Amino acid sequence: MLDVEILDTTLRDGAQASGVSFTLQDKLDITERLDELGIPFIEGGWPSSNPKDLEYFRRVRDLPLENAEIVVFGSTRRKGMGSGKDPNLNSLVEADVKTAVIFGKSWILHTRDVLRITPEDNLDLIATSIEYLREHGMRVFFDAEHYFDGYKDSREYAISVLKTAMDAGAERLILADTNGGMLVHDVQEIVRKTRKEMGGIIGIHAHNDSGMAVANTITAVVEGAAHVQGTINGIGERCGNADLIQVLPALQLKLGLRALKSKKPPEEQLKELTALSRYVYKLLNMTENPYQPYVGSRAFAHKGGVHVDAVLKVSRAYEHINPELVGNRRRLLVSELAGRAAVLNQALRLGLKLEKQSEAVTKTLEEVKNLEAQSYSLEDSDATVHLILLKNMGVENRYFDVVYWSVNVTREEEGGIESVGDVIVKAGHHVRHGRGRGVGPVHALDSALRNVMSKLIPGLAKITLVNYKVSVVDSVEGTASKVRVYIEFSDGENKWSTTSLSRNILEASINALVDGYNYRLLMGRLDRKLY
């Protein structure tokens, strides 16, 4: 028995977000991921609004779902049209699912000025719509649109809307902060009074226009709401909806409530949460929010020296939960603000144990601070930090160096651009020349480097560049400004990153490339995985 019901509306309300567009396959894929997580209800869409949602309800029947029930969404019938002739209501019936979620107006302002009908006629729309769906064997959840604004405007009318829906057979009464403008104390008071008057199962559907959607949702649950609606990553119309990625850990890990239909023990149920969040971002081609609570890449990143030292001793000193509970990981960053503990942690990642007061730690910390004073940013470039540490330990960390490089960019008569890069590499006693072509000068130099190094070290060919970023450090000197290059590498199993700084973008790029390749070769020798 669940303590709180979760209804995920990513595929319906989330699809109304500006810039969001799900393909049909996206919707089916997300459905499967939500089912694997244990979400009890998935709102699949509004079939009368577009052909894609209509097709979704045909295709979703073929998915072998274990935990989730698919529900359909729509509105009350149109004014002046009987329920049996209303295309919206009939599309809900034709969706062939057990449960329908329909919304109706609970704010007298909308009744009079938007629908332009009497308050009594609005109550009739709600009652007859719910009754029609019930007659066709469907359960009905009623979304009271604009409930909180409506309650503040006319408590009596907002309550009469809920009573009408309940008397008509609605099994859930969801209070919607549709404008997203409520503050926590508003939600607390109104949910408390509404639940006292209505009883039954009250739900919450909060939008985020005042930045309160998650807080308002949790407050509603504390006040007795047993049904929660939200979306993955909080996507939704305008400023979005309550983010289930934040709501679920709050419910299960903080309040101790069961909210997921999963056979896994409670401590295992949320371990796929980070992966799910990033999966949805990726499907939508959206940039992940690194500061997103619980799942962001920086959600458990510690930079200050005092913080790092404390976390290494007692993790909960600066962490509100164990990041592994939601599938995330702790990051202890080395930067100008770091202390010796951060450097020691980097050594441990390499399988090396150092004394806190060792000369290598002192030199590494000083070098990091000096580099960051020059506008380097090392907190995300672990490979660069590791190379500095190993150098200060007296470990040879250079398999090869580039002693000469050049690149020539020409514009062809047909309008195309060709880039040709040349490098001379010294690896031990070997000196070799390499040439490569690319779509741009950095690509050409990388191609040249790979061509020559693959002859000396064949295993280097499987390394790929998965991220390449250039940042202008100080733009006051215009095109002569320093630039910082960040490169992330992968060999299929591990990832690592390097950074370099120069007034010349090509010099910064090739230095970061050389460091990245040297680092992987060094890791192969040490026989250590990076993560």
DSSP result, 203-253: EEEEB-TTS-HHHHHHHHHHTT--EEEEBGGG--STT-B-BHHHHHHIIII
**Which residues 6+ apart lie within 8 Å of 147 measured at CB?**
106, 107, 158, 161, 175, 176, 177, 178, 190
307 is catalytic: yes
Q: How far apart are CA 149 and CA 71, in angstroms?
A: 26
Q: Which residues pair with 405 in a beta bridge?
A: 423
**Which residues 6+ apart lie within 8 Å of 81 measured at CB?**
none
Q: Which two tokens stand for residue 445?
A: 């130099």
In the chain (531 residues long), the average pLDDT of successive 10-residue segments reads 94 94 94 97 92 94 96 93 91 96 96 94 97 98 98 97 98 98 98 92 97 98 97 97 98 96 89 94 89 93 77 85 92 66 76 81 82 80 88 85 94 82 92 92 93 78 87 78 91 88 94 92 60 33
Q: Which two tokens stand for residue 466?
A: 């998965």
Q: Which secondary-structure segment (H or E) carries 42?
A: strand 41-43
Distances (CA, A) of 125 to 81, 154, 176, 367: 10, 19, 18, 72
Pairing of strands 430-438, 69-75: unpaired
Q: Per CATH, which fold does 5-262 belong to? A: TIM Barrel (3.20.20)
Pairing of strands 401-411, 464-472: unpaired
Distances (CA, A) of 417 to 410, 445, 446, 448: 6, 15, 17, 17
Residue 530: what residue type? L
Distances (CA, A) of 412 to 3, 416, 417, 436, 496: 68, 5, 6, 17, 37
Q: How far apart are CA 356 and CA 369, in angstroms?
A: 17
Q: Which secondary-structure segment (H or E) carries 365?
A: helix 359-373
| CB-based burial label for 370 (10 Å; 0-12, 13-18, 19+) | exposed
Q: Give the dihedral of Cα atoms 227, 267, 492, 280; nearest 10 deg.
A: 10
Q: How far apart are CA 89 and CA 102, in angstroms?
A: 9
What's 34's DSSP letter?
A: H
Q: How far apart are CA 450 and CA 443, in angstroms?
A: 10
Residue 386 sits at φ, ψ, to 5 deg, of -60, -40
First-to-last alpha carbon distance for the chain, in angstroms, is 39
Q: Which secondary-structure segment (H or E) carries 101?
A: strand 99-105
Residues in the chain: 531
- Give yes or no for a contact between 219 and 247, defined as CB atoms under 8 angstroms apart: no
Q: How far apart are CA 379 and CA 385, in angstroms?
A: 9
Q: Which residues pair with 121 in a beta bridge?
A: none
- Give yes or no for a contact between 96 and 61, defined as CB atoms under 8 angstroms apart: yes
pLDDT recorded at residue 65: 96
Q: Which of 302, 307, 386, 443 is catalytic?
A: 307
Closest of 500, 452, 446, 503 to residue 480, by C-alpha: 503
Residue 326 sits at φ, ψ, to 5 deg, of -115, 15
Provide long-range contacts, Cβ within 8 A and 24+ apart, for 395-398: 397/518, 397/519, 397/522, 398/518
pLDDT recorded at residue 140: 98
